[in-house]
Structure 1
Amino acid sequence: MFIRDAVPSDEPAWRGLWAAYVAFYQAEVAEAVTAKTWERLIHKQDGLMCRVAESDGAVCGFSLSVLHAGTWTLAPVCYLEDLFVAPERRGKGIGEALIRDLISTAQSQGWSRLYWHTRTSNAAARSVYDRFTVADDFVRYRLFF
């Protein structure tokens, strides 16, 4: 298993994983948004980036991140917005490897921090995330327009 930047030929595999990820969160994402997201990920536009985990010649997981400026630091901040591993490939260290990949990149590129969130009920993901750091006590508020 290795982790690399997504390339255009990964689109079908990514779309399959993306659809499963969106379904996991019982959400809907319009096709136009999915298409634009893929375009921005591949061209690394708007600070977006996609890393994929590949094993046995197949893409089996991804991390989608946003690199952005921060108001409390001079160095960039990375938000790990989405992380997903194919259900049949879970328990093999792929999610952990995707996070370690981002940590390594953060350290080599001089980013100031890496952060992410998940649902409190997502015990499987939290068991991985807790290996890296403890959850903080912030509460999230959202408005949709």
Structure 2
Amino acid sequence: MWRGYCDFYRAQVPEETTRRTWSRILDPDSAVMCIVAEVDGQVYGFANCVVHENTWETQPVCYLEDLFVMPSARGHGLGTALIEWLRNAMRAEGWARLYWTTKADNAPARRLYDRFTQADGFVRYVIRQK
């Protein structure tokens, strides 16, 4: 499923990065966490998040870094359920906010996200180490 997500974004994630990511997710002391959407014991989607401190609020915030539902399971409310779970966790844990980014042309994802909140108008910039 992780490969499907990476393929969707045409991302070449090195195997070592994948191993390290999942090691962090499985580490209870890590700020990185993963929740899954499952039906009848079969996992059909996931959301990877990072809870972190910030400079705009006194409470931590949660960055939803990855959200993916297998194409065969889309349209059945799993993406909604993942975001609802995080929104409930935000309230229960006292996070100041839950936020994420998506590609501007990812219309299906944006339709889902627009049901929760509107895009805030910020534009993301990225500098990569060569």
Task: Give the TM-score normalised by the residue count of structure 2.
Answer: 0.97
Give the AA of the match of 1:58.
Q
Matches within 5 A, 1:49-64: 49-64=33-48
Say yes or no: does 1:25 pair with 2:12.
no
SS in 1 for 2:105: coil
Shift of 1:56: 1.7
User: Given the alignment of the two structures, is residue 121 of structure 1 paired with residue 97 of structure 2, yes or no?
Assistant: no
Match status 1:83 vs 2:62:
no
**What is the total number of aligned residue pairs between the two structures?**
129
SS at match of 1:65: strand
| Displacement of 1:45 | 4.4
SS at match of 1:126: helix
Partner Cα separation in structure 2 for residue 117 and residue 123 of structure 1: 13
Q: Is the counterpart of residue 40 in structure 1 residue 24 in structure 2? A: yes
TM-score norm. by structure 1 comes to 0.87
Deviation at 1:44, TM superposition (A): 3.7
- Following TM superposition, by how much is the alpha carbon of 1:109 offset from its aligned partner in structure 2, in angstroms? 0.6
Query: Unaligned regions of 5+ residues in structure 2, if any?
Result: none
Moved over 6 A (4+): none
Match of 1:112 among 84, 87, 96: 96
What is the letter of the counterpart of residue 117 of structure 1? Answer: T
Aligned to 1:92: 76
Structure richer in helix, relative to its length: 1
Structure 1: state its 5+ residue gaps.
1-16
